[in-house]
Structure 1
Amino acid sequence: MPLCLPMIRRLKSPHLFGAIDRLPALGRPVGNKTFEVVNPSTGEVLAELPDMGVEETRAAVDKAYVAQSGWAALTARERSDVLWRWHQLIIDHAGDLAA
């Protein structure tokens, strides 16, 4: 999910967005079609995202369903640790997430 360069330059931690493309559970959309997210007040392109059709969307849902079994196999303590870590990352990067 590449953000456009002007948007990336504004972020405190731009490296966080590079990791999105490497998430194994998400995989890659089957097609190469994308669409632009545009700031309506400036016309600036903020991001280019996959334009997924029905089959690509179903494949993504199927991958998420399979990944859920790994999550379910964790103990409550392990899931709690993950959620607390996510919470801390959100707090640490609130400025970038709000951009």
Structure 2
Amino acid sequence: MPQTPLDRALHSKNAFLAFAGIITAVAAWTILKPDPIFPLAGPSGDPTEWTKGELTNWLRARGIEPEEGATRELMAAEVKIIRRQQAAAAAAGM
């Protein structure tokens, strides 16, 4: 029986090497740059409605470590202050 193009592609060394190259590139990207390729969007809306975990993650993503034992209300107030400062800086930069 003659070989079809699919048979030739499945037995090709080039197809195997291309697949191995893709896997190697993804593995290297994951090891060297652990940040996700498509980062998740942070919570939106009023910070007083966010959970304590969302508030903590939002602050940590900006390099701010919440105080140990900080309440949800305190963290929400801190987020509001930071957002206000960012908005003022963006308005001043225009």
TM norm structure 2: 0.31
More strand by share: 1
* Greater radius of gyration (CA): 2
